[in-house]
Amino acid sequence: MAHPQIAAFARLAKENTKPNRLIAGQKTRLSRTMHDIRYDAVNDEFFVTNPFARAIMVFRGGADGEEAPIRVIQGPKTQLVGVDRLDVDTVHNEIYVPNDDSILVFARNASGDVAPLRVLKGPDTGLDAAGTLAVDPINNVFVTARDTVLSGEGARSRLLIFDRTASGNTKPLRVISGPKTGIIRVNQLQIYAPKGWLVATMPGFYDMQEPDGIFVGIWSVHDNGDVAPRWKIAGPKSLILKPRGVAINPKDKEILVADMRQNAVLTYYFPEIF
């Protein structure tokens, strides 16, 4: 991708609608390949990662133009390796980062070269190239998964559900895995905590332009084992080709899906989960 940026569109924007705001430029410290963005409504801030500079950046909610982040977490003490995605728990004021073979948890207002508050790591965790995560402060869990699987690999990703406060070499509480799940690899995750619904993007094999087996799947955070998603959004009407990003808007009962093959964001009215 030639040009990094964050574009903010009106919720009702359609094809070719100009963004309300564009955040770009050297001072922003953004890079391309930003694979997560989380808006914190309590503190009116949003969080993104810069995987090349191994940093977490926090911006004012209304950031615009070439605006610098208000906080940056970066440096040798952070243990950040492949910081690609993250989630923010605004109830317990923590940032969760999937970090390959570990999960790092930072204070929400951490800044600079700081050590994580907790680290989940070890053979019992089952973590395997953890690349995506969502945290649920109501049901007290977080869910993580591997985000990259090539077509030649026999392995498939799985959804590992941990106690929210897990640290050290702790086993997951539950694992959603197996052929009935339809999971190949998992990209951005969201949890609608009041109902415990886990919404996951499934973009199929990494190295295929328009792979089979793509969908947006919705499970309960209480699910376990080889279980199909409760709902599976896919098919020709959905227009989904390669879903990578997902966000939820409970107020309007909408699920937003970022489709990389179309360079598009698709909005679905989906009252079932709200």
Partner 1 sequence: MSGRRRFSWRSSGALLGLLGAAAGLLIFGDATTVNWRAASEAALRKPAGGPQLVSVEPFPAMEMEGEMCQWTPASASEGLFEALQQGSLTQPATAPARASQDVDRAPVRQIRDTYATYSAIALDLNTNEVFLQDENLFGIKVFDRMTSTPPGAQFSEPKRMLVGDKTKLEFNCGLYIDPKTGDMYSVNNDTTDMLVIFPRNAAGDIPPARTLKTPHGTYGIAVDEGKQEMYLTVEHQNSIVVYRKLAQGDEKPLRTIQGGGTQMEDPHGIALDIKNQWLFVANHGNARVRGADGTYGRFDPPSITVYPLQSSGEVAPLRVIEGPNTQLNWPASLFMDEERGELYVANDANDSILVFRATDSGNAAPLRVVRGPKTQIKNPTGVYVDFQNNELWVSNMGNHRATVYERTANGDALPKRVIRSAPADKLALAIGNPGAVGYDSKRDEILVPN
CA angle 56/186/191 to nearest 5° reads 70
Residues 29-58 that bind partner 1 (CB under 8 A): 29-39, 41, 44, 46, 48, 50, 52-55
Q: Is 226 in the site for partner 1 (CB under 8 A)?
A: no
Residues 255-274 that bind partner 1 (CB under 8 A): 256-273
The residue type of 64 is D
Residues 173-192 that bind partner 1 (CB under 8 A): 187-188
Q: Cα-Cα-Cα-Cα dihedral of 112, 170, 245, 196, to 10°?
A: -120
Tokens encoding 273: 């989960």
User: How many residues contact partner 1, by CB under 8 A?
Assistant: 101
Q: Is 110 in the site for partner 1 (CB under 8 A)?
A: no
Q: Is 109 in the site for partner 1 (CB under 8 A)?
A: no
* 30 vs 28: CA distance, rounded Å: 5
Please identify which residue in 1, 70, 115, 117 interacts with partner 1, judged by CB under 8 A.
1
* 54 vs 86: CA distance, rounded Å: 12
- Binding span for partner 1 by CB under 8 A among 19-27, 119-127, 137-145, 157-165: 19-27
The distance of closest approach from Cβ of residue 29 to partner 1 in the complex, given in angstroms and rounded to an integer, is 5
Residues 67-96 that bind partner 1 (CB under 8 A): 72, 74-76, 78, 80-81, 85
The distance of closest approach from Cβ of residue 165 to partner 1 in the complex, given in angstroms and rounded to an integer, is 25
Please identify which residue in 107, 138, 175, 234 interacts with partner 1, judged by CB under 8 A.
234
The distance of closest approach from Cβ of residue 267 to partner 1 in the complex, given in angstroms and rounded to an integer, is 4
What is the DSSP code (8-state) at residue 17? Answer: P
Closest CB to partner 1 among 124 and 252? Answer: 252
Closest CB to partner 1 among 123 and 237? Answer: 237
Closest CB to partner 1 among 111 and 165? Answer: 111
Tokens encoding 225: 């084992």
Distance of CA 60 to the CA centre of its chain: 20
Residues 239-258 that bind partner 1 (CB under 8 A): 239, 244-249, 251, 254, 256-258
The contacts of residue 236 (CB under 8 Å, 6+ apart) are none
Closest CB to partner 1 among 168 and 250? Answer: 250
Q: Is 129 in the site for partner 1 (CB under 8 A)?
A: no
Contacts from 46-51 at CB under 8 Å and sequence distance 24+?
47/86, 47/88, 47/95, 48/6, 49/83, 49/84, 49/85, 49/86, 49/97, 50/83, 51/82, 51/83, 51/84
**Cα first-last separation, the chain:** 35
